[in-house]
Each structure stands twice: as C-alpha cells, then as structure tokens.
Chain A
Amino acid sequence: MRFLLALLLAWPMGAAEVRVLAAASLTEALTEIAADYEKSSGDRIVFHFGASSLLARQIEHGAPADLFLSADEVQMDQLARKRLIDASSRVSVLSNTLVIVVPRSGGQAITHARELAGRRFASVALAEPSSVPAGVYARRYLMKLGIWAQVAPKVIPTDNVRGALSAVAAGNAGAAIVYKTDARISKAVRVAVEISRSEGPAISYPFALVTAAARPREARRFLDHLRSAAARAVFTRYGFDVLR
C-alpha cells in the first residue's frame, strides 16, 4: 500500500513534462513539432488546445501551465496586465489569414464576404465573436465591411474555431469564417473566399512563458525551439505565416 502511494506521488516527478496551453488552430502543427522535439530533447510536451480566451481564463484561475500560445494579442495582454506571463519571454511568432468555408458538397457559391449578409446564407458559424480570437477577427472584418448587423442574427457561435469548422463540415451551417490553416484540416469543406492580408484584420499569435510555470527551464527550451528553422518549416507547411 505504501509502495503504491509512493509510486503515485513520485510519478509526476519523473520525466520532465512541459504543459502547453495553445490555440486550437495550432493543433496539428504543434503536435508534429512536439513529436520530433520529444525524441531529441527527452522532455515530454503535454498540450491542451482550445479557444485562447478560455485558456487565458483558465490560467487566471490557476490552471497549471508552462507556456501559453495565443491566437491574439488581447488575451496575452490581459494575462500580462495581471503579471501571469513573463513579459520578457513574450514574442509574436506567427500570423494567419481568414477564409470563408462552405460545405464541399452542396455548399453555396460565394465570391466575396459581403454575400454572407444575403439570404442565401441562413447561418454563419463563427467562434464566439465576443471573445474567441478567430471570432473576434471575423467580427472586426465584417464590421469593417459594414455588414455585421445583417450577419449577427445568423451567427452560430461555437466555443472555438474548430467548432465552426465542424458545423460546416457536417452541413449544419451554410458557411463559416475560420483560419486558412483550419480549412486544410477538413476534407468536407472547401475554401470559397480567402480574405487577403491587406483587406482582413492583422492576425498575430504571441507566445509566452507562464509566470507560475512548474518547469520554466524546459518550457523556455521548447519556446526557443518553436522559433527554430525546423519548427518554422512545419508551421509554413501547415499554411501559417511566420513573422520576422
């Protein structure tokens, strides 16, 4: 009995485990990068993917985390104000583009975002437009086009950007605004419109070390790795834009 107890308590102290809270849109790229990194470094990377807004709230409530990889600066700013992240480690690494996706089979034709205001689109899935980065970016763009008032009543808000993607993939929503990198994940959707960098909002993914990190050294090592040429190549391959 005591042996089991000791084993239980000793377990977490074994291999160094870096806990990374990361935006949902980074899922595939990070998983691949981490798999290679684990082989070479011997550290274990444990991810928790989700909406950056939700992850930031969790960090505020004391959820254990070593790194926070956010999809927008707003969430990172909030944590910085509360000194929950190490400001000196903060660096904006990636960018992305917004796209409008429709179901691959049976999806409506669309050539410009302003058509979303029209009657052909009864529902538009967005990550929660008041808080989740992808949804906030989308809303800002639609507001800039002056059609937010027409689109808002049709919005199906999802907990994170992948939820919006799934809704279109399943045919339950007529269209969604997601990241270009997300659209490549699902075969059941097609990209109908790409919102260019000049037209769309400035998207920026800041990464930072969490102040209360249990493994700051290993976390910093992984964070540095995310900026390495090898990691950059993976990100690019998945469709992200790497910031200098």
Chain B
Amino acid sequence: MSSAEWQILGLTLRTAALATLLIVPPGLAMAWLLARHRWRGKSLVETLVALPLVMPPVATGLLLLELLGRRGPLGGWLHRTFGLDIVFTWRAVVVAMMVMSFPLLVRAARVAFEEVNERLEQIARTLGASNTRVFFTITLPLAARGVAAGLLLAFARAVGEFGATILVAGNIPGRTTTLSLAIYNLVQLGRDADAFRLLGVSVLIAFAAVWITEAFLRRRT
C-alpha cells in the first residue's frame, strides 16, 4: 500500500473510532430507555432511531447537508457562534458515521439490556441503589458482551459509510476521502487494480469486526 493509501486508512479508522466513541453515551442511554421503560411516544422514537438504518444513506446525507450547511439551522448557528464549519470537513465525516451507526448500537445494546434479568436490577434497588448505580453496576456489566458486539458493529458500519459521507463531507483527498470513497474514486478512474487492493482492506476490516462480534455474542453469560 502506498503512503496515500495508508493515509486514507488512517483517516477512516480515526474518524470511525471517534464516531463510535461519541455515540456511546446517547446510544446506551437510548437503548436503556427503550429496553426498560414504557413511555408515551416510545414507538415514535423507536421508529426515528431506526430510520437511518432503512433510509437510503444518500437521503440521510442530504438531510444532514441541509441541517449542517452554512445556511442550515444547525450549521449556521455553529458557524456564527463558534466559527465552526462542519460540511466538507472531517467533522462531517464523523457526523455521517455517527448518524448511520447509532441505530445499530441502540439495537444491539437494547437486546443486551433486555436479556439482563430484571429481577437483579430490582433487588439492587431494594438494596438502596439509585437508577444510575443499578445501570453501571448491574445492567451494563451483565450486558457487556452484547454491548461490545454492538460497538464493533457500529465501528464496522462507520468504516464502511459512503452515501451520507459523500454528500455532507464531500470527497476531498486528504481531508474527507475515506476508504469507501477512495474505492469509488479508483473505479471512476478505471484504476481497477488499486481499487481491488482497497477492497481487500475493506473486506478484511469487515470480516474481522463481524468475526469478533460473533465470538462475543456466542460467549454471552
């Protein structure tokens, strides 16, 4: 692999790792809310959370572009208040990855939380534990493997993100060209051999992620 290709791989892995890290607090919180509680509007929220999974990624990308562009409601505010630009920068790559991976993490974590015996959480409460303490000492540790599997899946999805990324982050070499975008570029230019090499890298990452995920899930308590 050339140094440019290493750079692309590095950018992809760094942004995917950051994106995965950033969705942990909201993702686990949402998963817990969906797993353990009944509340008004729950079905609506469930559906909204699942949307990026089902919508065409470019459609999601378009929404993000409208939202985060300089003239958009959120993007405009960020630009005016902090001088921060999102669109066409690595930040947009991270945002696109976060949005696309979030539902995967929520799904996996929710299942993991649901599998924790509620009885144990109840007993912990009678022993004086607050909801937060119950979550961190009982629910999360017992759901750890399922949650870890969810994180891996979310990471792999982030690495493979294309549709939303290309719209909201653009395809700027050195700045926002991720692994998937690089493959796309190479195919457009007819550089098949190079494209296949990067394809191999993608497959390796995806394979490793799913393999480890399955291993985690198989050895659940």
Binding site for B on A (CB under 8 A): 53-54, 57, 123, 128, 130-131, 153, 155-159, 167, 170-173
Measured CB to CB, the nearest residue on chain B to A170 is B69
Kindly list chain B residues whose C-beta atoms are within 8 Å of the C-beta of A123: 88
**CB–CB B189/A170 < 8 A:** no
User: If the complex has contacts A155-B172, A167-B88, A172-B87, are A54 and B70 also in contact, measured as CB distance less than 8 A?
Assistant: no
**CB–CB A156/B170 < 8 A:** yes
**CB–CB A171/B171 < 8 A:** no
In the complex, 19 of the A-B residue pairs with CB atoms within 8 angstroms, ordered by the A residue number, are A54-B188, A57-B188, A130-B189, A131-B189, A153-B174, A155-B172, A156-B88, A156-B172, A157-B172, A157-B173, A158-B171, A170-B65, A171-B70, A171-B71, A172-B69, A172-B70, A172-B85, A172-B88, A173-B88
Binding site for A on B (CB under 8 A): 65, 69-71, 85, 87-88, 170-174, 188-190
User: If the complex has contacts A170-B70, A170-B71, A172-B88, are A157 and B189 also in contact, measured as CB distance less than 8 A?
Assistant: no
Q: How far is the CA of A172 from the CA of B70 in the complex (A)?
A: 6
Q: How far is the CA of A93 from the CA of B60 in the complex (A)?
A: 40
Q: How far is the CA of A159 from the CA of B87 in the complex (A)?
A: 16
User: If the complex has contacts A57-B190, A123-B88, A172-B88, are A157 and B171 also in contact, measured as CB distance less than 8 A?
Assistant: yes
Kindly list chain A residues whose C-beta atoms are within 8 Å of the C-beta of B188: 53-54, 57, 131
> Interface centre among B65, B87, B170, B190, by most A CB within 10 Å?
B170
Among all A-B residue pairs, the 3 with the closest Cβ atoms: A171-B70, A172-B87, A171-B71
Measured CB to CB, the nearest residue on chain B to A123 is B88
**CB–CB A171/B88 < 8 A:** no
Measured CB to CB, the nearest residue on chain A to B75 is A172
Kindly list chain A residues whose C-beta atoms are within 8 Å of the C-beta of B71: 170-171
Q: How far is the CA of A57 from the CA of B187 in the complex (A)?
A: 10
**CB–CB B172/A171 < 8 A:** no
Kindly list chain B residues whose C-beta atoms are within 8 Å of the C-beta of A157: 170-173
**Known pairs A156-B88, A159-B171, A172-B87 / 20 extra A-B pairs, C-beta < 8 Å:** A54-B188, A57-B188, A123-B88, A130-B189, A131-B188, A153-B174, A155-B172, A156-B172, A157-B171, A157-B173, A167-B88, A170-B69, A170-B70, A171-B69, A171-B70, A171-B71, A172-B69, A172-B85, A172-B88, A173-B88
